[in-house]
Amino acid sequence: DLDDMSTLTTILMHISVHIVPNIQAIFMVIFLVLIVYSCLRIYLLLTNKTLRELLCATYKKK
């Protein structure tokens, strides 16, 4: 039992040593992806709006 516990604790130690410092990096990556995604969506919405307005304007001119 003690041997199992020691292996478990060593595994947990390894996980904490390797993952805990990277959690911040992982969160930063997720955060950046979300920001880029939202910016792209807003940009696409705006461009679609302007394109639609331009199309409407050109259509009305005819």
Host H or E run for residue 51: helix 2-61
For the entire predicted model, the pTM comes to 0.48
Look at residue 2 in the predicted model and tell me its pLDDT.
64
DSSP per-residue string spanning 8-36: HHHHHHHHHHHHHHHHHHHHHHHHHHHHH
Look at residue 8 in the predicted model and tell me its pLDDT.
85
Q: What is the biggest distance separating any 2 CA atoms in the chain, rounded to whole angstroms?
A: 85
User: What tens digit of pLDDT does each residue of 16-29 get?
Assistant: 787 777 788 889 99
